[in-house]
Chains A and B, each alone.
Chain A
Amino acid sequence: MEKWECEVCGYIYDPAEGDSSAGIKPGTPFEELPDDWVCPDCGVGKEEFTKLD
């Protein structure tokens, strides 16, 4: 599963880890994050993320 990076602050969403601060379970792909999920570090929306190669 691909990692995604927040272009505003550099946070990397790793599906293997999920995001416990928002109740996102490990194993959740980025695409399946809820629409209102925001970057846990800086608060911007999913649309500010780009897929890492």
Chain B
Amino acid sequence: MDPVLLKEGIYWVGAVDWDMRYFHGPVLGTHRGTTYNSYLIVDEKITLVDTVYTPFAGEMLERIRKIVDPSRIDYIVINHVEVDHSGALPEVMKLAPQAKIFCSAKGKAGLLKHYYGDWDYQVVETGTTLSLGKRSLSFIEAPMLHWPDSMFTYLPEEALLMPNDAFGQHLASAFRFDDQVDNRIIMEEAARYYANILYPLSRLVLKKLEEVKAMNIPIAMIAPSHGVIWRQNPGQIIEAYQRWASGEWFPKAVVVYDTMWGSTAAMARAIVEGIVSEDVDTRLFKISVRDINSIITELLEARLLVVGSPTINRGYLSVLSPFLDDLAGLKPVNRLGAAFGSYGWSKGAVKAIEAKLEAAGLTLAGEGLEILWVPDSGELESCREWGRALARKVKAEL
């Protein structure tokens, strides 16, 4: 794939990773692959903004060679230290040891502790500007969006924002721009990205959106470090972030469960019938056969999370633990929760799930529902009624 022109003299020189299926170690399923976007600006100073994941260094350098000799790179901006963006830096520095590296103070500390390179670092802050010749860059620090070192780079002459991971999507595609890829897929992946990475930082996202708005800078194009570049409609992803970060929701429920001998499964199906009979859209997930990241993504726009497990060893099935742990870390904004399950002699699953839901910041929407051994038809009706009551709570808030 050749370099792709964004604007005159500004090129995408990154890499498409069609094979990436697990990100951040094994915890983030990237079922559509990803891209590592780095950008080359050819001006009086040849500038590279971000690099790519380490195994793709050669591919990026090949792309750069089609434009300029990489040894001529003067400036390298590292918006974010994480290896999927800085991993190719040592290879670039071998070819262009004279290059100055522009990054935040935390970025410098992080790069030193990753690569131990004796390189020429220039620490920048919000408001620092850097002339490249005809054009310039300015920087906006964005601590904890999503690492302490994170920052955005802005090119005012083209109203081009390069915000690294913000507004990104794990999406491998043949084309680089938002108008060339199915919009529904782009937004699905942007939502998955937000829910599984940025969710717990939503308050900071809102503040950063406000800060950037107050700067009153035009944004004609957003070139993130993963996925497609927003050139047709950059407002779409900014509006979506505003919505997700503020915890807006649709009348929708997510039911997550697992089962030993089918009783909790029967309860789950009856509960879903009840919720749906109140016209509240619902997704049912049996956790042992489903992907946690997809469930979290559904929660991004659902009001209600219902979790079910039979009692075992006075607690819930351990297969639910990774999901409940993830939830506790991601802290979904402004969500209701409820728990249910079957039991034989002692209870315990429902209480333990409720404690986890509350620890994750959810508000319990009602009493948990517990049924002894195998539910009979009357008890299944009480499951439906329990679901209906939860759904009415959701609808009452509309």
From B106, which residue of chain A is reached at the shortest CB distance?
A: A43
From A6, which residue of chain B is reached at the shortest CB distance?
A: B144
Q: Which residues of A contact B106 (CB under 8 A)?
A: 43
Count of interface residues, chain B, beta-carbon cutoff 8 Å: 8
CB A2 to nearest CB in B, in angstroms, measures 22
Q: Which residues of A contact B144 (CB under 8 A)?
A: 8-9, 42-44
A41 to B105, CA, bound (A): 12
A46 to B148, CA, bound (A): 15
Q: Does B189 contact A (CB under 8 A)?
A: no
Category for how many chain A residues contact B: under 10
CB B330 to nearest CB in A, in angstroms, measures 14
Q: Does A12 contact B (CB under 8 A)?
A: no
Q: Does B141 contact A (CB under 8 A)?
A: yes
Q: Check A44–B204 contact: CB distance below 8 A.
A: yes
Q: Does B143 contact A (CB under 8 A)?
A: yes
CB B43 to nearest CB in A, in angstroms, measures 30
Q: Which residues of B contact A42 (CB under 8 A)?
A: 143-144, 148
Q: Does B201 contact A (CB under 8 A)?
A: yes
A16 to B106, CA, bound (A): 25
A42 to B141, CA, bound (A): 12
Chain B 146-177 interface 0/1 with A at a Cβ cutoff of 8 Å (1 = within): 00100000000000000000000000000000
Q: Which residues of A contact B148 (CB under 8 A)?
A: 9, 41-43
A41 to B203, CA, bound (A): 18
Q: Does A38 contact B (CB under 8 A)?
A: yes
Q: Of B143, B201, B203, which is within 8 A of A43 by CB?
A: B143
Q: Which residues of B contact A43 (CB under 8 A)?
A: 106, 141, 143-144, 148
Q: Which residues of B contact A44 (CB under 8 A)?
A: 143-144, 204
Q: Check A8–B204 contact: CB distance below 8 A.
A: yes
From B201, which residue of chain A is reached at the shortest CB distance?
A: A8
Chain B 190-226 interface 0/1 with A at a Cβ cutoff of 8 Å (1 = within): 0000000000010110000000000000000000000
CB B200 to nearest CB in A, in angstroms, measures 8
A48 to B148, CA, bound (A): 14
Some 15 contacts from A to B, beta carbons below 8 A apart, are: A8-B144, A8-B201, A8-B204, A9-B144, A9-B148, A38-B143, A41-B148, A42-B143, A42-B144, A43-B106, A43-B141, A43-B148, A44-B143, A48-B203, A48-B204
The 3 closest A-B CB pairs, nearest first, are A43-B143, A42-B148, A43-B148
By a beta-carbon cutoff of 8 Å, the part of chain A in contact with chain B is: 8-9, 38, 41-44, 48
